[in-house]
Structure 1
Amino acid sequence: MVSALSHNLPATLSAGAAALAYAVLAGAHTRLTPASARQVMLLAWGLHLLTLVLSLFATPARFGFAPALSVTGWLVLTVYLIESRLYPQLKARWTLAVLGTLVVLLALVFPGAPYPALGSAWLPLHWALGIASYGLIATAVAHAWLMQRAERAMRAGLSTEADMPLLTLERLTFRFVGAGFVVLGATLLAGWWFSEGLVHRWVWNHKTVFSVLAWLTMGVLLLGRWRLGWRGRTAVRTLYLGAGFLLLGYAGSRFVLEVLLQRA
């Protein structure tokens, strides 16, 4: 672990700067003006991106559960930066700053293992789709959490006109669920098509099983929304269940191998 960090000193320094920027935003967000807070967030976002580039395109490239979570966190932050321009009422800056700090530091401590030799030149497409599905479903989870928070505030009589409308949050949540369902399905299809030796067969390991369970759960959620009008707690709990399966699919399996079993 230490040798991996010292081997890629630029990525280590960039990660430290990104974590510091996120921590400053989390600690001082109530004292910063909206413009200043956005500038700090953009700085942290840029440093986070630089860290990912320096880490993923190093020689040898390394990846694992913590870098996967780091990329996912960066994707969620990217969506938030775009959405906050369209919906100024969207308020999750402190939570995302804390999340950014944690995932950057986690990837700094657990940089993962070197990539194995590629069985197919198309395998990076499978990995890219997988990370995109992680990002989309994580974004859906973030919106579901905001939706629950808005609902509690409304029930307690604490909501104001400046808050994000509950129906808008619900609509955004299911848009990301739908996009995540499609991309995850494409990930599974690509994993089958570009499997070992290009023999087009399923490799039934923990990652595949949990990923299929996640895809089926998201499908049930979308079907329940369409046919039964699922919303509120039922929808959110089903989303959390599917996201939990997806988390166990790659990040959970790699965590067990890298941290608990000490195997690459």
Structure 2
Amino acid sequence: MLKNAPNNLKLTSPDIQRDIINSATVEITKAIITDLRDDLCPILVDECRDVSVKEQMGVVIWYVNGFGCVIERFISLVHIQNTSVTSLKKGIESLLSTYGLSISSLRGQGHDGATNMRVALIKLESQLENFVFDMRMDKKFSEVSGIGGLAENMVATRKHIAFPLVYLLVKLSLILPIATATMERAFSAMNIIKSSLLNRMGDELLNDCLVTYIERDVFANINNEVIVNRFQLMKNRQRLL
């Protein structure tokens, strides 16, 4: 990665290090949003004060990926002025705008009027009957355990295409808002990263450090060249790496 760099290039400047961490964070978030595929994604929002007594809002999303697996991701830590509804709403809207997430994805799909709702329910009832019959005839579903296993098997056998309303119902049951340990882990990590000795750390650097640490499995799968290219494009550099 550094084959074109001079031997004395150590990348120890604080500004350089912040840019590298930010480049990694942007690519991690981009990978998460790509995996989301503009699908339904409920969010969990919680707030906590850091060591500088600043109000921080953590945001976690969870969704069902293309393989039918439930995925839970920490996407950001946002500084807010206070914990009022207006301040939280402003922070959420700003975050969604930054990452190109849609409000409709959070709300789910609505129906115009009771007539459309009745039609959808009739279709769902018909699909459920056919799906139950089809599933009983398929040995691959005989040992399915739990709703998560059902979703994964539906994708593996492509029944999520044949029975889209049934699969939507399964997905909704998997992503209903529940308590999550990811948020508590994020706040615990925040207190380690921004300690009493590092209480002047900026909000952006704190967020970048948290995302790269918590979502390190996503980080590990991102090519180094992608991060280096983003780092190079952030501003003019004296040398290209």
Compare the two structures and name the one with the higher helix fraction. 1
Compare the two structures and name the one with the higher strand fraction. 2
TM-score by length of structure 2 reads: 0.28
Structure number with greater Rg is 2
TM-score by length of structure 1 reads: 0.26
